[in-house]
Amino acid sequence: MIEVRNSDTLLEVRGLHTYFYTYEGVVKAVNSVSYRLNRGEITGLVGESGSGKSVTAQSIIRLVKAPGKVVEGEVWLDGQDLMSCSEAEMQTIRGRKISMIFQEPRAALNPLFTVGDQISRVIQLREGCSRSVADSHAVEMMRAVEIADPDRRANAYPHELSGGMCQRVMVAMALSANPLLLIADEPTTGLDVTVQAQVLDLIRLRVKSAGSACLFITHDLGVVAELCERVIVMYAGRVVEQGPVAEIFSSPRHPYTQGLIASTLRVDIDKPISTIPGTVPDAVNLPSGCTFHPRCPFAEDLCQQEEPQMVEAGKNHTTRCHIVSGRIEREMLEEAWTLETA
C-alpha cells in the first residue's frame, strides 16, 4: 500500500501505543506517541531512564518482546505501512531499510561468526559484490570506527572483544547497510570521549551524505545539542515536547524539558544548575492528570485533574502543558530550576 507523504518525511509515527501486560498491571510504556523524522536529519530522543525511549524504537522495527505488544498506532516508512507488513517483509526491511545500533551490542552480534564476517555479509547483501571485495570494505569500516589493527580484529569472534569494541563493530555494521533509517539507542555508552566523538562524526557524515534519517536515543543532552536538528522529549511514555534543537535549548517550554536542561553539567560553572526533584513514576500507577505534576514546581490543581493536550509552542514546536496552552495563568520562573548554593 503506497501513500503520498510530505517528501521530506521519511518516517511517520502516529498515535503509537505499546503496552506490557505484567502481573502488577498494564505498563503503558509508549502512550500515544506521534512524530516525524525527516531525510538528512538526526532527531534526538531524550528522557530519563524508563521513559519509553527503547520501547519506542523496538515498536518501530516490530521487535517488542512479550509481554509487550503494540496495541495501536501507525508507522510509515517511506510510504510503506510497517504495521501491516508480514514478518517476512519486516525481516527484509530490517536488513535493508532500517539499521539499529542497540544499547547492548553483545546481544545483537552473532557469537558464531567473526565480526569481520558479520560486517562483510551486510555489505554483500547491499552491494551484491563478491565476498573478497566485501571483506576488504568491512576492514575499512572497522578502521573508520577507530578499531586499531582491523585486519587482525576482523577475524575475532564477539566474545574475544571488549564491550566498547563490540559497540564499534555494531556501529560499523549498521552504517555498512547504508540504511534509509538508522536507529541508534545509546550508541556511545561505554565508549571513551574521543572514540565517542569519532563515532558521532561518522553517523553525522553517513546521514548527511546518504539523505537518510536517524533517531538518536540518548540521555546526554550535550550530544543532542551537538548532533541533532530536532529533539523529542519523552516522560512516562508520552512525548511532552518536540521541536528544533536550537529553539528547545534556548527556550524550553515544558517544565520537564527545563528541568532536564538545568540538570545537565554546565561547562562554565562545572556543575548543573539544578536537579529534577523526585523520580520517574511507577509505570503501572501513573499519576492522574499531567503525569509530571508530582515533580513539577509549577503544578496547580488542574494539573492533577486533567491531562494537558499537545499544543503549538512555536514553528514545528509542540508541547503538553496547561501553562503553555493558557489553561493555567502563571509564569514559569527560571529560579525554580536554580540549585540552592549555600
Ligand X SMILES: Nc1ncnc2c1ncn2[C@@H]1O[C@H](COP(=O)(O)OP(=O)(O)O)[C@@H](O)[C@H]1O
Instruction: Answer yes or no: are the C-beta atoms of 265 and 271 closer than 8 Å.
Output: yes
Q: How far is the CB of 273 from ligand X (least distance, A)?
A: 24
How many CA atoms, within 13 angstroms, populate the side-chain half-sphere of residue 70? 22
Query: Reduced to 3 states, what is the DSSP secondary structure of residue 18?
Result: strand
Tell me which of 242, 293, 313, 318 binds ligand SF4, using CB under 6 A.
293
Q: How far is the CB of 83 from ligand SF4 (least distance, A)?
A: 30
Q: Is 230 a binder of ligand SF4 (CB under 6 A)? A: no
Instruction: Give the x/- contact pattern for ligand SF4 in 244-273, rule: CB under 6 A.
Output: ----------xx------------------
Q: Which does 298 bind (CB under 5 to 8 A by kind): ligand SF4, ligand X, Mg ion, none?
A: ligand SF4
The CA distances from residue 152 to 147, 168, 194, in Å, are: 10, 15, 22
Q: Which does 216 bind (CB under 5 to 8 A by kind): ligand X, ligand SF4, Mg ion, none?
A: none
**Residue among 68 and 150 whose Cβ is closer to Mg ion:** 68
Q: How far is the CB of 155 from ligand X (least distance, A)?
A: 34
Query: Reduced to 3 states, what is the DSSP secondary structure of residue 84?
Result: helix
Q: How far is the CB of 234 from Mg ion (least distance, A)?
A: 10
Q: Is 298 a binder of ligand SF4 (CB under 6 A)? A: yes
Q: Is 218 a binder of Mg ion (CB under 5 A)? A: no
Q: Is 54 a binder of Mg ion (CB under 5 A)? A: yes
Which triple of cell numbers denotes residue 93? 526491511
Which triple of cell numbers denotes residue 73? 498506532
Distance between CA atoms of residues 39 and 213, nearest Å: 5
Residue 269 sits at the vertex; the CA angle it makes with 226 and 251, to the nearest 5 degrees, is 50
**Residue among 54 and 212 whose Cβ is closer to Mg ion:** 54
Query: Among candidates 258, 250, 191, 229, which has minimal Cα distance to 316?
Result: 229
